[in-house]
Structure 1
């Protein structure tokens, strides 16, 4: 038993040194032949060192006085120790490669997650400058016609921006807060267009507190405003509706007009933003559609009632 303990202890010491050497080898991916050759050579030398060292240490205490270099025992035992060290090396390298592969996969997933979140933030920030550009253009056009109404519109814009910037870092907001922000935006447009713009809301009580991605409805309302006034002097009706349908939340922005009346000067950022954001957050569980009915266009967003676990 003492000799076995010595043998195991020497094996642990030598294999630990071999492990350090194997970890410093050139990459298996870039230098496979060199890696295999050096690993084989290192394991062979470690095995060749293991058994002679054990024999030297155990010889003085052997009661039978057996010699150090008895070929009948030495050669087979040496080959056995070399084989054990080669087997250990293969297992060690396999375990190391699995650990590195797992670490690489985690790094890849982490990088994809960060890129995805960065993409999401970029999409959100695309909308705000787009809206602000249109709002300022509206104020500019109104300032030449009626200074008092222009001042009122600036006041509405100030209130809207306070609401938006206060919630800029929140990924999800209650539907009621999103509707309040939309109402503030429509109030800005109402000042400019007066009776040519008619607005209505129908938000069911049981969905007001449901969480939705912040700034999701604005691109749809803005798109309805931009393209709904494509026909001069025609009254534009916009209706904002939200209701529950089973385990889904359905939000609709309805405007009078047709899809074929869409002007060509829009950038399309807003609608692409809605599609890409819900794809990013909900995948196939959400849907965005533009539906044309007689005299109206409906932008419909369908979301699951439960928000995703991963939120921006």
Structure 2
């Protein structure tokens, strides 16, 4: 006896006949709580499980600009192409070379940014070195990383002035009179770590009613104290402070000290540490 089957919805429309055995399999499949080796709906209908685009086209379509974004896109490409739930860093590097894409100078760091900072990728707890793209990463790809692009544009605007596109330092920062000593804070030069000296600078500025500092403003204040902290190194120097919840970076790119950071500066005995090292 022939069984009629009709499927509609989600842009799909199918109507046909089959025998009772196949119909029973369809019903069992629909009622099943889990699907072995899941694929995209399009793959189920066409029988094609591999992605129909190239890695180069995937990068172009996604509008990926940064290395962490490109790693995310290529990781998703590998998962779709091979119908797998994960991928390795080496696989991404190999396919990146084949596309002619410029290889990241520090692939491991950029992968970690995609994991820790952006939340686009996560590492398998059991299989170390195996990664998957998160739902947020997949959505960012679909959106063309539009939110990231908006944030980048916002940071660029905050660093430029109207006349010539030079990095801007706010007037109140330029006028700030700064010395290496302030009541309630350790002496600036007793702090050995540049990352912790950046905490000091941000706290000093905020105690003078300046709401956070951009990297170029941090460099400017450090220069006033004859210290060598370049704006391009601020992010790397503050990685540990960010992980310890000492600072945060707002959407405009300004670094702000948090309560944990203030407590750290006040409680740490930098003078004692300096004597130990001398």
For the aligned pair, the TM-score class normalised by the smaller chain equals under 0.3
What's the TM-score, normalizing by structure 1? 0.21
Larger Rg: 1
The structure that is strand-richer by fraction is: 1
Q: TM-score, normalised by structure 2?
A: 0.23
